[in-house]
Each structure stands twice: as C-alpha cells, then as structure tokens.
Amino acid sequence: MDYHTGETVVLTRTRKRRKEIAELLQQLLEKHPHERIYVAWDNASTHQDEEIEAVVRGAAGRLVLLYLPTYSPWLNPIEMLWRHFRREVTHCELFENIEALLAASQAFFERYNHRLGGVRSIIGSHPAQLP
C-alpha cells in the first residue's frame, strides 16, 4: 500500500511463502522504477530469507525494509486495512467457491484504489506530514 496515494498493490497467490513475498517486492520495484520504497512489516518468518535479501540488494538502496517490533500490529498501517477488509468482505460471508472469494477481494481493492482518499482514510494516512 502506498502511504502517500493509498493505492494498494495486490498479489494473489495460492500460498504465502518467501518466494511470493520476494515476487511482491519485485512488483513494487517495477511499479515505482525511480522511487525509493519503504516497506514496513512485522517479523514473520516469510519476511526473513536470502531470496528477499537478494531482492533488496538488487534494488541498490531503492528498497528499505522497516521491521516493526514483535507483537505490535497497531504500529502496522496495513493491519487497519485488513481489519476493514475482513469486516466488509468476509465477515459472516459464505462464498460459493474460491473464485467468488477472490472476485469479492479484488472488487474491494479496486473500489478503494479508485476512491479518492479511500484506503488513506482507513489507515489514517497523513502524507503531508511526511518529509
């Protein structure tokens, strides 16, 4: 999620392993080829791997990983988005199949990516306060 614009970058995969995390980081680098990217994340085991470190090294200083303290989800803005996502998309919902769940998920992110201030209002983003 871009803290300044509120735009989300979503990568849908059947598993969440180090390989998929590295792929997401690579997508961020490709989406923002001339910018420095800061990624704030927790200390999940999938966030710590040689494959991820290789992506960071390959970015030549353009990708900065900010590790949040252990057990501190309130410090991670994406957790607020996930809470809102669960409330709006999956809470008390029984989907016919995985395709229906994926379609509802994709619609959520597309809707908020196209709504001015959508995701930023959920996470409490105030980009004007950043340098």
Q: Is residue 75 part of a domain?
A: yes
Task: Specify the pLDDT at position 74.
Answer: 80
Q: Is residue 8 part of a domain?
A: no
Number of domains in the chain: 1
Q: Is residue 12 part of a domain?
A: no
Give the highest mean pLDDT range of 1-5, 25-29, 110-114.
25-29
Rg, the chain, Cα only? 15
Distance between CA atoms of 77 and 119, rounded to whole angstroms?
10
Average pLDDT on 68-80 reads 80
- 69 Cβ contact list (under 8 Å, min separation 6): 75
Q: Print burial letters for 58-68: b (CB count within 10 Å at least 16), e (below 16).
A: ebeeebebeee
Surface-to-core class of residue 25, CB atoms within 10 Å of its CB (0-12 exposed, 13-18 middle, 19+ buried): buried
Q: Is residue 7 part of a domain?
A: no
Please, which pLDDT band fits residue 96 given cuts at 50, 70 and 90? very high
Q: Is residue 28 part of a domain?
A: yes
Range(s) of the domain holding residue 31: 18-122
- What's 2's DSSP letter? -
Please, which pLDDT band fits residue 81 given cuts at 50, 70 and 90? confident
Task: Decide if 25 contacts 49 (C-beta within 8 A).
Answer: no
Task: Specify the pLDDT at position 26.
Answer: 93
Q: Is residue 115 part of a domain?
A: yes
Please, which pLDDT band fits residue 100 given cuts at 50, 70 and 90? very high
